[in-house]
Amino acid sequence: MVTERSKIAFIHATRLAIDPIEVTAKRIWPEVRTVSLLDDSLESDLKKAGNLTETLHSRIADLTDYACTLNVDGILFTCSSFGDAIEEVAQRAPLPVLKPNEAMFRNALSGGARIAMIYTFEPAVSGMEAEFGRLAKEFGSTASLTSVFCANALDAKQSGDVAEHDRLIRECGRRLSGFDVILLAQFSMASAAEGMHQTTKTPVLTSPEAALTDLRNRVEILQQKAAQSC
């Protein structure tokens, strides 16, 4: 009997997140089937609204509901700006629904007490800081998070200049000292990770790898439980 491969959905609010997570999936979970859903107006609408409105919450819920109709085993959101809305749908969804940064934050908390986070999309940072704070409290951790905005990097990426995007992030990371871990906040920043590893001795974590590893573990545990109950 041929066992059907796992199938997961990625939900994106920007096209820039698609390649990083697809590349990561091919590397660390090559047998998985993936489907990508994109609403690239979410990011601009959030920036315009200034916060997560009821309408934006509803749109995140609608995207989740649609993904569930595709017979997937798990869902991963790739935009770091919608954490509260994702938490809401995750509580009622019949399958694992993951926020983009929770797994990376968990890994960071086990890596040290002084954590730096480089980010390129300004509307995302307050929600991410709040999420980190809640998780640290849950873990009983006194770790601190220092958020550092990398100006112009997102503009460079959006214009297609990946090399400049990565260079700006490397330079930003080079100026950080005394930290136990450096986080690259957005999925779109993953292309800068290799260069960061070469320019700093501080461990650098990216959200695509941490999130996808977490999702794979959750999906496989559920599948094992289902097989044992048959």
Q: Can you give the CATH number for the domain in which 179 is found?
A: 3.40.50.1860
Q: From CA 170, how far away is CA 157, in angstroms rounded?
A: 14
Together in a domain, 17 and 42 = yes
For residue 36, is it within any domain?
A: yes
Predicted confidence (pLDDT) at residue 159 exceeds the cutoff of 80 = yes
**DSSP structure class, residue 189:** G
pLDDT tens per residue across span 82-107: 988 999 999 999 999 999 999 999 99
Percent of residues, the chain, with pLDDT higher than 70: 98
What is residue 228's predicted lDDT score, i.e. its pLDDT?
Answer: 85
Predicted confidence (pLDDT) at residue 3 exceeds the cutoff of 60 = no
Together in a domain, 46 and 127 = no
E-assigned strands of 110-214? 114-119, 144-149, 181-184, 204-206
Predicted confidence (pLDDT) at residue 192 exceeds the cutoff of 80 = yes
Together in a domain, 109 and 95 = no
Together in a domain, 165 and 177 = yes
- 49 CA to centre of own chain: 22
Together in a domain, 30 and 41 = yes
- Average model confidence (pLDDT) across the chain: 92
Together in a domain, 148 and 201 = yes
Q: Which whole number is the average pLDDT over 164-185?
A: 95
What is residue 1's predicted lDDT score, i.e. its pLDDT?
Answer: 33
Together in a domain, 120 and 199 = yes
For residue 187, is it within any domain?
A: yes
Under 8 Å between Cβ of 15 and 40? yes
Q: How many domains does the chain have?
A: 2
Together in a domain, 151 and 67 = no
Under 8 Å between Cβ of 139 and 117? no
Together in a domain, 17 and 83 = yes
Which residues form the domain of 49?
A: 7-100+209-229
Q: Which whole number is the average pLDDT over 208-230?
A: 90
Together in a domain, 91 and 136 = no
Total residue length of the chain: 230
What is residue 124's predicted lDDT score, i.e. its pLDDT?
Answer: 85
Together in a domain, 145 and 176 = yes
Together in a domain, 114 and 139 = yes
SS3 assignment, position 173: helix
For residue 2, is it within any domain?
A: no
pLDDT tens per residue across span 93-148: 999 999 999 999 999 999 889 999 999 998 889 889 999 999 999 999 999 999 99
Please, which pLDDT band fits residue 230 given cuts at 50, 70 and 90?
A: low
